[in-house]
Chain A
Amino acid sequence: MHDFTYHAASSVADAAAKVAGGEDAVLMAGGMTLLPTLKQRLAQPSDVVDLSGVADLRGIRVEGGAVTVGAMTVHDAVANSPEVAAAIPALAALAGHIGDPQVRNRGTIGGSIANNDPAADYPAALVGLGATVCTDRREIAADEFFTGMFETALDEGEIVTSVRFPAPAAAAYMKFPNPASRYAIVGVFVARTTGGVRVAVTGAASCVYRESAMEAALEGGFSASALDGMTASADDLNEDIHASAEYRAHLVGVMARRAVAACG
């Protein structure tokens, strides 16, 4: 790891100022992705601005049928929150199956979505539930937030402050995990929301996306059998040592049916 200047931010405004003030500054949340990246020298920032001392960014609020999770809230806190378990149990379950306990003790929702790993779990929940990402500058709908592989709609220096999830009528997430890392080889988040049925897929392609054909089939009748025989198109899916594009396409159908069945 190359050396850098470390700053502990005291507030969101302080963090924004420190990022703007550095030549090539980066934000750090839990460091679960950033530090491995720096160790591999894939990035060489001049300054690292640590958000962990910003108390406002931590915590979970449930009000008016929505769950708001602060950007610095760790996965373990979401997984074990009675409020989240009551309002959106699928979200608590998803957080409880990210990585391992030590990753969940430090990894945050803000870091996970800002990073937008194609195999990460949270992007599926945000898109599946039609969540809103709140930043220090604006609000961004999840459908517009995840723009490509490791890419988001965030501008230079923009800080995620929280994510607001509307509570659905029913929702479930099913993932086929990589047995070593627990990242999703394929994960499918299905939700019945006031805006209709949403089916979000992670792990399969370069970025989280919605399976519109499956959404349409489920609008016609919300049951696993509505998806009988359906798979994703393998055309643009990932292919690597873990799974071929065809296998991922098949898994999208299997995980989607299991998620629908789990919605009850």
Chain B
Amino acid sequence: MPTVNMNVNGEAVSGEVEARTLLVQFLREKLRLTGTHVGCDTSQCGACVVHVDGVSAKSCTMLAVQCEGADVTTIEGLADGDALHPMQEAFRDNHGLQCGFCTPGMIMSALDLARRNSAPSEQEVREWLEGNICRCTGYHNIVKSIMAGARAMAAGQGG
């Protein structure tokens, strides 16, 4: 079996995987980082979004072996101890989640938008969320959360 080495949330990890092992399986089943969710397993819903070398990607549509030497960030890597990341805080403040299943993917996707655009408009946020599906909220408060989170990050409250 191939061995894969990568950095996950700043820590060097390595493990034996099958070539077909998906990145999300490696994260959840080998590393027990279960914050990254599998909603569809068909590349549609975005519950599995993580960052690979700083760019958002669907971890159900990548092989673990493709991440050899990569820096991977998951939802578990955002908070600083007990202090939530400003984007996480914004979701809490704006009631941006109900069941919470889509939330890790929403937040990881939102951070890729905030990296490119520190003050996204409502329209820009809605277009960006094309690949993230939520069954609960109707998106309204997710959009509000992301706009607020991006502003908070730009205002230098971390990020």
Contact = CB atoms under 8 A, between A and B. Distances in A.
Interface of A: 1-6, 8, 31-32, 35-36, 38-39, 48, 50, 52, 99-103, 105-106, 180-182
B126 to A, nearest CB: 12
Given A101-B112, A102-B131, A52 B19 contact: no
Given A102-B109, A105-B55, A31 B66 contact: yes
B153 interface: no
Given A31-B62, A102-B56, A103-B131, A36 B42 contact: yes
Nearest to B41: A39
Interface of chain B, main secondary structure: mixed
A48 B22 CA distance: 14
Contact of A101 (B20, B56, B65): B56
B128 interface: yes
Contacts of A8: 65, 68
Interface in B136-151: none
B19 A31 contact: no
Size category, B interface: 20 to 34
B43 A101 contact: no
Contacts of B112: 101, 105
B18 interface: yes
A52 B63 CA distance: 12
A103 B68 CA distance: 20
B81 interface: no
Contacts of A31: 61-63, 66
A106 B109 contact: no
Contact of B19 (A48, A99, A106): A48
A5 B19 CA distance: 6
Given A105-B55, A106-B61, A106-B62, A4 B19 contact: yes
Residue with the greatest number of chain B CB neighbours at <10 A, chosen from A99, A101, A105, A180 = A101
B104 interface: no
A99 B61 contact: no
Nearest to B58: A102
B60 to A, nearest CB: 8
Nearest to B55: A105
B47 to A, nearest CB: 11
A8 B22 CA distance: 16
B96 interface: no
A35 B57 CA distance: 14
B42 A99 contact: no
Contacts of A48: 19
14 contacts: A1-B20, A31-B62, A36-B42, A36-B43, A36-B61, A38-B20, A39-B42, A48-B19, A100-B131, A102-B109, A102-B131, A105-B56, A106-B58, A106-B61
Given A48-B19, A101-B131, 20 more contacts: A1-B20, A2-B20, A6-B2, A8-B65, A8-B68, A32-B43, A35-B22, A35-B62, A35-B63, A36-B42, A38-B20, A100-B130, A101-B109, A101-B112, A101-B128, A101-B130, A102-B46, A102-B58, A106-B57, A106-B58
A105 B50 CA distance: 12
